Amino acid sequence: MSRVLFILAAALLLVLGFAAANPPNVPEFDGIAEVAAGHTALESDDLGMALLYYKRALTVIPRDSAAQLGAAVVRALRADILPEESGFAASVSRLTADVMSLNELRLLAMLPWLGLFGWGWLWVNNRKDARLRRLILTLYVLVVAVLGLLVVRQTYEAAYPAAVITAFETAAYAAPSEDAPVLFKLYSAAEGRILDRREGWARFALPDGREGWVKNEVMSDE
């Protein structure tokens, strides 16, 4: 029984490790340049572009105080009052997004992941050492938890890219056509996620659950 559990635990570790080591394509930004662009856009009262630049900066330098403050200022000034995203994947993604970039989280997970295989060899050769077994089990649980966070976060962010409305005002339609009924209005710096794309259109979802089709040119994904 213990041999079966050991094999299953090793298989889980391998699957999570390979999933984490092969992330979807995520654009990289120059954090300092994005913060400067955000300041310029904010001074011009272009809230949508300002928030877009600040959010891009925060993907690579999430603890930068200037980017954090700039994003907070834009969110306080925008017309829409939006709640935080709900749902399991969104909550898991948000656990680390404010303090750690994806690359930092990946490094945090992959180094002990590699080390665990050496510890596993020690486990096999020192089965009677209870203290060593407890130490390896603790390390295993921690690594699996961090790898799980990483896989959920990078999969969620790749499947549903974050986007910002950059137009001053736009309409969200019931279908990807200007002849479709208008569901609601969106204003500069509204944040959401892209659920689907069709020729020149994107299905834009707000954190409060509202969804509608908007033209690609009125918003930008990060």
pLDDT tens for 133-177 read 777 777 777 777 777 787 788 888 888 888 999 999 999 999 999
Q: How far apart are CA 86 and CA 88, in angstroms?
A: 7
Residue type (1 letter), 103? N
Residue-level pLDDT at 95? 74
Tokens 């970039």 belong to residue: 101
- Say which CATH superfamily domain 162-221 falls into: SH3 Domains (2.30.30.40)
Residue-level pLDDT at 210? 92
Residue-level pLDDT at 80? 81
Phi first, then psi: give them for residue 187, nearest 5 degrees.
-125, 165
Domain boundaries, the chain: 1-159, 162-221
Residue-level pLDDT at 1? 44
